[in-house]
Amino acid sequence: MTITYREALREALREALTEDERVFLMGEDVGAYGGCFGVSLGLLEEFGPERIRDTPLSESAFVGAGIGAALGGMRPIVEIMTVNFSLLALDQIINNAATLRHMSGGQLGVPLVIRMTTGAGRQLAAQHSHSLEGWYAHIPGLRIIAPATIEDARGMLWTALEDPDPVLLFEHGSLYNVPGELAADAAAVDIDRAAIRRAGGDVTLVGYGGTLRTALTAADELAADGVEAEVVDLRTLRPLDEDTVLDSVRRTHRLVIVDEGWRTGSLSAEIAARAAEAALYELDAPIERVCTAEVPIPYAKQLEDAALPQAADVVAAARRAVG
């Protein structure tokens, strides 16, 4: 059936709420309003206010409540409107959720899922266009996942809820309206391994979340010129499945990383470093990184587009590597 990314996320929430009575959703405007991006629309009427809980505008408070509920045996799903608002809950996420298992000697787990919208490209200006997944991927004790496809949007949540540790699920805002085909028997999916979304032998393009579509578009353009790009979807940003990336590099001998984060200290830098450490002599060209310009994201559409990784930038980087 044809379904949008937003609807796939809603179906994932519906399944979790139906299958496990310990699951509940809470966040700002998730109930009566249906979620800032419409993901939870209709779930309040279906499951009631005990399971779909609107919260005050205090990220630190309701993320902390989610941590407490998880410690108490529940399976909370906390929605933070956009990733920039998660900065108001950094202490709860990093100093509490991520560390409690370690600091309790393994006695305490925090089976909490935090969903948040990430990414730019929608003219929401500098304060609401962050891509901070790479920041969180730096933190031990957290699992970071970024569904880029309809299947992953539908299937990652259930797998995340089964994880005994906190999972941060990043939903790229540009994907919500994107349609795709979903099998009738779609179920939980793996969140341990990256996926090859397009096979090729000339250059490896690595993307995730919103940048996967950019990489795939670039691969189509390259194919028209006879360059076959292999496209890797990271899917999970911590822990990174470096084996899939390195295996691809050993086949193609060239690597281009597409990352909507800023270049300095980015996830792309980590992938490039690992490739250099483990597969340097497999590379026939310097590693290329296509990242967001190191500026606050502009509001003006033409400036926003200029700041973000575009398919043309990826094509140019791949041609440099191949050439």
Which residue numbers are catalytic? 59, 128
Query: Angle, to 10 degrees, between the axis of helix 5-19 and the axis of helix 150-161?
Result: 30
pLDDT for 211 beyond 90: yes
Task: Label residue 207 by pLDDT band (50, 70, 90).
Answer: very high
pLDDT at 186 over 90: no
Query: What was the pLDDT predicted at 187?
Result: 87
| Element containing residue 290 per DSSP (H, E) | strand 288-292
Domains of the chain: 2-181 (3.40.50.970), 195-322 (3.40.50.920)
- Paired with 168 in beta bridges are 114, 144
pLDDT at 241 (0 to 100): 98
pTM reported for the whole predicted model: 0.96
The answer on pLDDT for 312 being more than 90 is: yes
pLDDT tier for residue 1 given thresholds of 50, 70 and 90: confident
* pLDDT, tens digit, 9 for 90 and up, residues 251-266: 999 999 999 999 999 9
Distance CA 117, CA 135 (A): 15
Q: What is the mean pLDDT of residues 119-145?
A: 96
| Distance of alpha carbon 286 from alpha carbon 289, whole angstroms | 10
Categorize the per-residue pLDDT at 125 as very low, low, confident or very high, splitting at 50, 70 and 90. very high
Confidence of residue 161 (pLDDT cuts 50, 70, 90): very high
Q: How many CA atoms lie within 13 A of 250 on its CB side?
A: 8
CB 163 within 8 A of CB 186: no
Alpha carbons 165 and 12: distance in angstroms, whole number: 19
Query: How far does Cα 54 stand from its chain's mean position?
Result: 24
DSSP secondary structure letter of residue 297: P
Whole-number percent of the chain with pLDDT over 70: 100
